[in-house]
Amino acid sequence: MSNNKNRDTIIIGSRKSQLAMVQTESVMKSLQELHPNLKFEIKTMDTVGDRVLNVALSKIGDKGLFTKELEDLMLSGHIDIAVHSLKDLPTKFPEGLSLGAITKRENCFDAFIAHPKYGKDARLSSMPEGAVIGSSSLRRVSQLKRAYPQLQFKDIRGNLNTRFNKLETSGEYDGMILAVAGLERLGWTDRITEVLQPEVSLYAVGQGALGIECRSDDEFVQSLLAPLNHYETAQCCAAERAMLRELEGGCHVPIGVNTTLEQNNSILSIEGVVLSLDGTKSIRLSHRGEIDQPEIVGKQLALMLKEKGATEILAELAATVQNS
C-alpha cells in the first residue's frame, strides 16, 4: 500500500464476468500504453451481486452490491484500483476511496432484445399482449410499464451470457432489456432488435461510462489514471450522481436521466425522472447550467423533482421494497 513512485506493479481489481473482464482489460491496455515501464495485473473476484442470483437486486440492498468486495481489497492494499460500470458505483464512497477517472461514455441507451422467434424487426410496441420481458432494473420496468402497459415484466439475473441463455432456452421470456454499452463492448450489437429512445426510457445514472476507483491518498495511482478521465463525460456523470445523491436514491431505484451538452459543450442539460414501481406516477423535469458546475446543476434538478413530489414517490418505493 506504498504511496511512493518506486512501485513497478499496479494491481487492478475486477469482477469475473466476461463483460467486467473486457472492460477491465480495456482500461489495463490504455494504462499500459500510457505507462510502458510499469506492469499491470488483474485480480478477479465475485461480488454479492454476482453470487446472489435468486433475489431481485432491489431486495438484496443497495450498498455496493457489485463494488464492496473490491473496495475492501483496495482499502487493505491488495489491489490498487478497481474498474466498475459507473452505474453500479454508489454515489457515496467508503472513507479512504474516491474516483480516479471516468472514461469516455459509450452508447448510454437501453436495448430491447427480442426472442429469436420474433425476428430482427421486433419492437416493444409490436410484441403481443402479455409478452414477458426480462429485466433486473426497477428503473427500466417502471418506465416500460408506463409506455407499454400491455406487456408483463419478470426479473432476470446473472451476467450477460447467463441472461441470453435464459432468454433463448428457458421459455420464460419473450425478450429482455439490457444496456447497449455492454453489448457493444462484447461485440453483440447484432442481437439488438431496438434501441430505446429517451421518450420511452431514460437511462441509469452513469450508464455507458466506466468508473475507476482508487485510494484517496494514493497520489501515484491518481497520476496514472488522470489521462483516462474524459472531461465532458465526467462532468455529465458528476451532475447525474449529484442528482441521485440528493434524492438519496441508490443504483437500483426508478430514477433515470438523459444528459446532453449544448453551446459548444459549455452548457450541461440534464433531464431526470422519478417513477413509482408500477409506472403510474412519474415526475420528469430538466435543468441546465454551466458545465464546470455539474454538482450544482444536478442538485438543483433533484430539488426541483423533490418539490414536485419525488420524495413521496421514493418513500412509497422504500416501504414497498421493505415489505415485499
Query: Residue 4: is its pLDDT beyond 50?
Result: no
Q: Output the nine-digit C-alpha cell for 256.
A: 433515470
What per-residue confidence (pLDDT) applies to 68?
Answer: 83
Q: Give the side-chain half-sphere CA count within 13 A for 306.
A: 14
CA distances from 318 to 101, 103, 146, 248 (A): 31, 32, 20, 11
Alpha-carbon distance of 324 to 320, in angstroms, equals: 6
- 1-105+209-229: CATH, from 3.40.190.10, 3.20.20.70, 3.90.550.10, 3.40.50.720: 3.40.190.10
What per-residue confidence (pLDDT) applies to 66?
Answer: 64
Percent with pLDDT over 90 in the chain: 77
Extents of the domains making up the chain: 1-105+209-229, 110-196, 231-324
Label residue 6 by pLDDT band (50, 70, 90): low
- pLDDT tens, position by position, 279-316: 999 999 999 999 999 999 999 999 999 999 999 998 88
What is the DSSP annotation of 181-241? HHHHHHT-GGG-SEEEPTTT--B-TTTT-EEEEEETT-HHHHHHHGGG--HHHHHHHHHHH
- 231-324: CATH, from 3.30.160.40, 3.30.530.20, 2.40.10.10, 3.40.1390.10: 3.30.160.40
CA 153-124-129 angle, 5° bins: 65
Q: What is residue 110's three-state secondary structure?
A: strand
Whether 178 and 191 have beta carbons less than 8 Å apart is answered as no
Q: What is residue 12's three-state secondary structure?
A: strand
88 in active site: yes
Whether 174 and 127 have beta carbons less than 8 Å apart is answered as yes
- What single-letter DSSP state applies at residue 164? H
> Domain 110-196 falls in which CATH fold?
D-Maltodextrin-Binding Protein; domain 2 (3.40.190)
Q: What values do phi and psi take at 31, rounded to 5?
A: -65, -40
CA distances from 281 to 130, 186, 257, 313 (A): 22, 35, 16, 8
- pLDDT tens, position by position, 74-109: 999 999 999 999 998 889 899 999 999 999 999 999
Label residue 49 by pLDDT band (50, 70, 90): very low
Identical fold at 1-105+209-229 and 231-324? no
Which position among 50, 80, 88, 218 bears the catalytic label?
A: 88
Task: Report the candidate in 263, 246, 234, 249 with the shortest Cα–Cα distance to residue 299.
Answer: 246
Strands (E), 276-311: 282-290
Label residue 324 by pLDDT band (50, 70, 90): low
Q: What is the mean pLDDT of the chain?
A: 90
Q: Give the side-chain half-sphere CA count within 13 A for 115.
A: 18
Q: What is residue 134's three-state secondary structure?
A: strand
Query: Residue 5: is its pLDDT beyond 60?
Result: no
- What single-letter DSSP state applies at residue 145? H
